[in-house]
Structure 1
């Protein structure tokens, strides 16, 4: 994660069912679904003003840290999150082993 994003807090916006970070009034976010044991990440999005800044990667990494700290398992349905974990295989440790694409990570 780029250092300029490290101090930006991750917000779990339960009303919108998304994890989000705000940069200069613009949002990068991940839509999620949650159970008592798992958090499924569905879709990552960054507003056009944040394109190419690393904001999407930052919200993914902060969300993965949140999931790990919550001691839940991850279901990476979002293709961006899935690709992020392939690029950073140390995060496979939080993926639920029963996830259909687990062996491709």
Structure 2
């Protein structure tokens, strides 16, 4: 499986995934979030149509959640894709912040 490069863009509140294709880097998709103290609210996951069905959403989600963990933060999975990803990967469940 091709290796994605994930770029965190805090000013845009976005993690964007890129793939080198024939020497050209192309955007595969992104996860948008909103920032709360100590928490990222993950709102939307997009993988562009030409890249769908190749496991890139899972690679992107893993990269984002690993970054959340590495930075000592929590997340709120508003996005349905992230919710289902956490159900399939319970090692991230401890990072979920309960909504009040």
Shorter chain as denominator, the TM-score bin is 0.7 to 0.9
**Structure 1: gaps of 5 or more residues:** 101-105
Deviation string for 1:33-77 (max 9, x for gaps)? 112310110000011111111111111010000000110111000
CA distance in 2, matches of 1:55, 1:16: 21
Residue 16 of structure 2 contacts residue 27 of structure 2 at CA under 8 Å; is this kept in 1?
Answer: no
Q: Report the TM-score, using the length of structure 2 for normalisation.
A: 0.85
1:34-45 superposed matches below 5 A: 34-45=35-46
Which residue, out of 13, 17, 28, partners 1:21? 17
Q: Is the 8 A contact 1:26 1:49 kept in 2?
A: no
Greater than 6 Å deviation, 4+ residue runs: none
Answer yes or no: is 1:12 the counterpart of 2:13.
no
Residue 91 (structure 1) aligns with: 92
Q: Secondary structure at the match of 1:10?
A: strand
Deviation at 1:10, TM superposition (A): 1.8
Number of equivalenced pairs? 95
Aligned-partner SS, 2:54: coil
Unaligned runs of 5+ in 2: none
Instruction: Please tell me the root mean square deviation across aligned C-alpha atoms, in Å.
Output: 1.5
